[in-house]
Amino acid sequence: MASISLKTFVGLRQSSSDTYNSGHVFPVKHLPAQPASRGLRIVAGKFSPKVTGRNLRVAVVGGGPAGGSAAETLAKGGIETFLIERKLDNCKPCGGAIPLCMVGEFDLPLDIIDRRVTKMKMISPSNVAVDIGQTLKPHEYIGMVRREVLDSYLRERASASGATVINGLFLKMDAPKGATAPYVLHYTGYDSKTGGVGERRTLEVDAVIGADGANSRVAKFIGAGDYDYAIAFQERIKIPDDKMVYYENLAEMYVGDDVSPDFYGWVFPKCDHVAVGTGTVTHKSDIKKFQLATRLRAKEKILGGKIIRVEAHPIPEHPRPRRLAGRVALVGDAAGYVTKCSGEGIYFAAKSGRMCAEAIVEGSENGKRMVDEGDLRKYLEKWDKTYWPTYKVLDVLQKVFYRSNPAREAFVEMCADEYVQKMTFDSYLYKKVVPGNPLEDLKLAVNTIGSLVRANALRREMDKMSV
Amino acid sequence: MASSIAITASLQRACSPHHVTKKQQPQARPARSMGTKQETHVVALETEGPKGLNIAEQEAKFGFNAGSSTTTSRDAKDDDEAGSGLDTEPSAPKFSDERWKNGTWDLNMFVRDGKMDWDGVIVAEARRRKFLEMYPESATNQEPVLFRSSIIPWWAWMMRSHLQEAELINGRAAMVGFFMAYLVDALTGLDVVGQTGNLICKAGLLVTVMGVIFFRRAQDFDSLRKLADEATLYDKQWQSSWQDQDAGDGDSGRGGKKI
């Protein structure tokens, strides 16, 4: 194991000179001069050995939004990138909603977006319906995309930047034999020669980004641990054109114990049909009943529709215990970056892929040096610092407002408030938790408590009576 | 004081239904599936009298009780629909009430003796919600629900339910206070005037008041502890990546607790 020598900023220790004295003195947190065991300290990769004769090789396992954006950033940073995706035309079950900021940040062409949702309807257990979206400015919207279109666009862009897109199924990974030894990936490669059966191949890389989704194999390999997950069940329904007009740019959210005990049911418009679905963490076996209830609640609006597809997928509820080990990092759903309350994952997947790739590019100085765990940890640090408030706020919202029918009634009542709508959309569309006007916040707090009190008082009345 | 107690009272309610939801679910489900014979579900709604402290939340079986009614004015149509629900028709009964018009309660119909009867509105709305919980209806655009519970003034809620609980708590606090004042006087010789000057006594007083407010039933200990756990679980899940920094293979499978 190579020892790493550094000149500390304070000059406390004069470490023995070694081969990697590049002459730089970086302000480093004071570090021991012993051979640094992996992971004990955040060690700047700037002192890692140069990679000679070639660029750093990184494999991105999984070609969804996380993998695509990671591969693009890596390739643009001068790193030899391999993007392994098992199904290049995968039509993933997904809500498909992306916030406005994603279009700008990832330079998405506007024709990728099938629909712009500018109105939402929240419907309480007792069918109190509240329209939200009046506070949206004309240029603001929630974009609805088809996953196969978005994913393949991002992959193609990565490929155009210089990444090698491999159609293959990741099987397993051999751990490196040393601090600078490569990881050996085993995968089944598919191409025109091998046909459907595929051929067992290997690939040697220096670092791996696991972007292979909720059932990540990379996560299993590094012992990342498990997370709680929700099951999202969705039916795509083609409804008559006159009914489709209602959903032109409107999405609906149904809350209630009948629809889901801890999540919500939805009707989202897609390119030419609607997706009606629901999800749950705690009562997964009852998901079909919840779906029936959701369809019942939207009955009149989807009457005459034909179910064209039924799909289900897991949604992580919180990050895995370990998102990083050695030179392998997890991003996107594989890491568990789905928010609570709204279950949003596409933007965070793409952003985390990009952030991780940026950390690798920076740590390796554009592919000239070997990276190590410390560089990848910088990505975790940056991610947690930037998005922790968002996740926490949504977690609190879910805990307060999704726990029972009275709470949901209060939730829908609160959504009628303009200030709430403005704050909600601002934080959703731009992914920044903006501290609002303190006076309005106080009023909001009082109103929230009032709503909760009223709804629970009604619940007590309900319990006293029989219908 | 009463309002703060009222608020904590509802926060208690906000906490407890969640923990009993799981228990209620299996009982509620059969009532909702279309086409099953509804007369097999027996109503056994227990109440604790006029007080709002309702442990019946946990034991209530949602049910269907044709013929008996606790509300004063009830549309005869409801009984008919309830009756027709006994035939195993696929369509569930729809909520209807003569005072429910165009998606909201017609407040003019709740006037009694020239005064607004808010109690009646509260009871009617509770009945509507209860009905919809048992027989969910589709949310239509033609008849949207426009009623907002905020229309009912705050004092109507207070008069109806919170005052009773406030009375109970104040009574408890008074009894505990009297007894403790006596006991402390007997043990230390400080009379009431002396006790109010003593820091320890004042701290003890604060703890007692908090205790009386927060721990009203035996299960409150558990509820509050679970609440504390819940509030910090998400943070722990996010921090676990950092705790593993020093550990070797760390803990896999940490996310075991379901919310």
Query: What are the tens digits of pLDDT across the range A376-413?
Result: 999 999 999 999 888 988 888 888 888 888 889 889 98
Q: Which residues of A touch B238 (CB under 8 A)?
A: 318-319, 384, 388, 391
Q: A53 versus B11: which is more confidently predicted? A: A53
Tell me: do A306 and A235 sit in the same domain.
yes
Give the residue numbers spanning the domain of B223. Answer: 193-236
Q: pLDDT at position A92, please?
A: 86
pLDDT reading at B48 higher than 70:
no
Q: pLDDT at position A47, please?
A: 64
Tell me: do A218 and A234 sit in the same domain.
no
Tell me: do A390 and A331 sit in the same domain.
yes
Tell me: do A182 and A277 sit in the same domain.
no
E strands, chain B, are 100-101, 104-105, 111-112, 115-116
**What is the mean pLDDT of the segment spanning A18-35?**
42
Tell me: do A442 and A300 sit in the same domain.
no
**Strand, coil or helix: what is A133?**
coil
Q: pLDDT at position B205, please?
A: 83
Q: B211 versus A159: which is more confidently predicted? A: A159
Q: pLDDT at position A312, please?
A: 92
For chain B, what is the domain count? 3
Q: A433 versus A398: which is more confidently predicted? A: A398
Q: pLDDT at position A141, please?
A: 92
Locate the chain B residue with the closest alpha carbon to A127: B139
pLDDT in tens, B164-179: 778 888 888 889 888 9
For chain A, what is the domain count? 3
Longest dimension (CA), chain B: 77
Q: A333 versus B53: which is more confidently predicted? A: A333
By Cβ distance, the residue of B60, B140, B241 closest to A324 is B241
Tell me: do A80 and A161 sit in the same domain.
yes
CB atoms B13 and A456 under 8 Å: yes
A257 and B CB contact within 8 Å: yes
Tokens of A219: 């996560």
Q: pLDDT at position A351, please?
A: 95
Q: Which residues of B touch A324 (CB under 8 A)?
A: 241
**What is the mean pLDDT of the segment spanning B224-232?**
82
Tokens of A416: 């009628």
Tokens of B77: 């149509």
Q: How confident is the model at residue A462 (pLDDT cuts 50, 70, 90)?
A: confident
Asked whether the beta carbons of A29 and A16 are under 8 A apart, the reply is no
Domain assignment present for residue A453? The answer is yes
Our CA-based measurement puts residue B204 at a distance from the nearest CA of chain A, in whole angstroms, of 29
Tell me: do A274 and A420 sit in the same domain.
no
CB atoms B255 and A323 under 8 Å: no
Q: pLDDT at position A116, please?
A: 92
**Strand, coil or helix: what is B43?**
coil
Residue A342 and residue A336: Cα distance in Å, rounded? 14
Domain assignment present for residue B251? The answer is no
Domain assignment present for residue B78? The answer is no
Tell me: do A160 and A238 sit in the same domain.
no
Residues facing residue A132 across a β-bridge: A120
pLDDT reading at B243 higher than 60:
yes
Residue A232 and residue A144: Cα distance in Å, rounded? 17
CB atoms B52 and A460 under 8 Å: yes
DSSP class of residue A273? Answer: S
Locate the chain A residue with the closest alpha carbon to B11: A453
Q: Which residues of A touch B258 (CB under 8 A)?
A: 228, 281-282
**What is the mean pLDDT of the segment spanning B33-53?**
39
Q: pLDDT at position A164, please?
A: 94
Residue A437 and residue B184: Cα distance in Å, rounded? 49
Other Cβ atoms within 10 Å of A457 Cβ, number: 26
Residue A173 and residue A178: Cα distance in Å, rounded? 15
Per-residue b or e along A73-97, where b marks 16 or more CB atoms closer than 10 Å to that residue's CB: bbbbbbbbbbbbbbeeeeebbbbbb
Locate the chain A residue with the closest alpha carbon to B29: A258
Residue A160 and residue A192: Cα distance in Å, rounded? 21
Domain assignment present for residue A102? The answer is no
Q: How far is CA B192 from CA B161, B172, B203, B211, in A?
A: 34, 19, 15, 21
| Backbone phi and psi for residue A36, each to the nearest 5 degrees, phi listed first | -65, 120
Residue A207 and residue A357: Cα distance in Å, rounded? 11
pLDDT in tens, A314-330: 999 999 999 999 899 99
Other Cβ atoms within 10 Å of A308 Cβ, number: 11
Q: How confident is the model at residue A53 (pLDDT cuts 50, 70, 90)?
A: confident
DSSP class of residue A317? Answer: S
- CA angle, A218 then A222 then A226, to 5°: 80
Q: pLDDT at position A17, please?
A: 39
CB atoms B129 and A405 under 8 Å: yes
Q: Which CATH number does the domain housing residue A336 bear?
A: 3.50.50.60
Q: pLDDT at position B191, please?
A: 85
Cβ-based contacts under 8 A for chains A and B: 235
Asked whether the beta carbons of A15 and A7 are under 8 A apart, the reply is yes
pLDDT in tens, A321-374: 999 998 999 999 999 999 988 889 999 999 999 999 999 999 988 888 888 888
H/E element holding A252?
strand A250-254
Q: How confident is the model at residue A1 (pLDDT cuts 50, 70, 90)?
A: very low
Locate the chain A residue with the closest alpha carbon to B122: A458
Q: How far is CA A323 from CA A326, A360, A445, B103, B167, in A?
A: 10, 15, 35, 50, 53
Domain assignment present for residue B176? The answer is yes
Residue A86 and residue A95: Cα distance in Å, rounded? 21
Domain assignment present for residue A31? The answer is no
Tokens of B254: 């940490």
Domain assignment present for residue A24? The answer is no
Of A53-57, A354-358, B255-259, the range with the lowest mean pLDDT is B255-259
Handedness of CA A101, A103, A106, A107 (dihedral sign): negative
Give the residue numbers spanning the domain of A444. Answer: 401-466
pLDDT reading at A229 higher than 80:
yes
pLDDT reading at B203 higher than 60:
yes
As a whole number, the mean pLDDT across chain B is 66
**What is the mean pLDDT of the segment spanning B23-31?**
40
Asked whether the beta carbons of A368 and A51 are under 8 A apart, the reply is yes
Domain assignment present for residue B165? The answer is yes
By Cβ distance, the residue of B64, B126, B136 closest to A458 is B126
Our CA-based measurement puts residue B93 at a distance from the nearest CA of chain A, in whole angstroms, of 12
Locate the chain A residue with the closest alpha carbon to B162: A457
Locate the chain A residue with the closest alpha carbon to B258: A228
Q: How confident is the model at residue A467 (pLDDT cuts 50, 70, 90)?
A: low
Asked whether the beta carbons of A46 and A68 are under 8 A apart, the reply is no
CB atoms B241 and A323 under 8 Å: yes
pLDDT reading at A63 higher than 70:
yes
**Strand, coil or helix: what is A267?**
strand
Residue A158 and residue A68: Cα distance in Å, rounded? 6
Question: Which residue of A331, A446, A464, A465 to mutate against B (max B Cβ within 10 Å)?
Answer: A464
Domain assignment present for residue B227? The answer is yes
DSSP class of residue A365? Answer: T
pLDDT reading at A55 higher than 70:
yes
Q: Which pTM does this prediction carry?
A: 0.74
Tell me: do B147 and B119 sit in the same domain.
yes
H/E element holding A421?
helix A418-430
pLDDT reading at B119 higher than 90:
no
CB atoms A413 and B149 under 8 Å: yes
CB atoms B145 and A297 under 8 Å: no
* Residue % of chain A over a pLDDT of 90: 51
Tell me: do A200 and A265 sit in the same domain.
no
Q: How confident is the model at residue A15 (pLDDT cuts 50, 70, 90)?
A: very low
Tell me: do A168 and A264 sit in the same domain.
no
Tell me: do A312 and A420 sit in the same domain.
no
Of A256-270, B62-76, B194-208, the range with the lowest mean pLDDT is B62-76
Q: pLDDT at position A291, please?
A: 94
**What is the mean pLDDT of the segment spanning B10-38?**
42
**What is the mean pLDDT of the segment spanning A436-444?**
88
Asked whether the beta carbons of B161 and B2 are under 8 A apart, the reply is no
Tell me: do A240 and A371 sit in the same domain.
no
